[in-house]
């Protein structure tokens, strides 16, 4: 599905995904043990005008609570952390988009998930995430965070050790 007129651009929305508008993430159930893949939406790419750098703040095997920092992103408009939308364990991170390779997300956002999470307990995807129609409506209502306004900038997570001065 194509949404015309989102900040003057066309946004590609995939029907096989769920969406998490607070961080402009797409969510794809992987069909094994409830594991979920997360990546950035096309609308998210447009809102930040592209990616310049990505750094993971967690490692495979880390247990996360909802709201824990997973990765740090620099874009042309803002720097911010992406938090876990749910409690669970990181099962995979995409090493192919680390560092300056994050720019690939500008043209291939749906082909490059950030990470996989195995939820701590079974979840109802429709209670936490939006389907394509609800996400389209959220975008049309202007609920997205333009230019990264209000973005939290923290490069550290609870998994990194403090550097000594």
What are the pLDDT digits (tens) for 99-117?
Answer: 999 999 999 999 999 999 9
> The whole model's pTM is what?
0.84
d(CA 69, CA 154): 9
- pLDDT tens for 28-73 read 999 878 999 999 999 999 888 889 999 999 999 999 999 999 999 9
The string of DSSP codes covering the chain is -EEEEETTEEEE--TT-EEEGGGTEEEEE-SSTT-EEEEE-HHHHHHHT-EEEEEESS-TT-EE-TT-EEEEEEESS-EEEEEPSSSEEEEEE-GGGSBGGGGGGGT-TTT--SEEEEESS---HHHHSB-HHHHHHHHHTT-S-GGGTT-------TTSPPPP-
- Only one residue has tokens 């209670």, namely 127
| Domain 2-144, CATH | 2.40.50.100
- pLDDT tens for 124-144 read 999 999 999 999 988 888 755
Whose CA is closest to 49, among 75, 10, 71, 13?
75
């Amino acid at each position: 599905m194509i949404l015309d007129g989102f900040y003057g651009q066309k946004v590609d929305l995939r029907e096989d995904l769920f969406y998490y508008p607070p961080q402009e993430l797409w969510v794809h159930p992987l069909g094994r043990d409830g594991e979920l893949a997360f990546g950035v939406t096309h609308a998210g790419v447009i809102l930040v005008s592209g990616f310049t750098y990505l750094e993971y703040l967690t490692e495979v095997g880390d247990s996360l609570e909802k709201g824990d920092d997973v990765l740090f992103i620099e874009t042309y408009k803002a720097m911010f952390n992406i938090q876990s939308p749910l409690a669970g364990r990181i099962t995979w991170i995409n090493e192919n988009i680390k560092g300056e390779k994050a720019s690939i997300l500008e043209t291939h956002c749906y082909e490059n998930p950030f990470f996989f999470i195995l939820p701590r307990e079974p979840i109802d995807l429709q209670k936490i995430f939006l389907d394509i129609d609800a996400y389209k409506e959220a975008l049309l209502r202007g609920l997205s965070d333009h230019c990264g306004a209000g973005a939290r900038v923290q490069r550290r997570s609870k998994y990194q050790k403090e550097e000594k001065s």
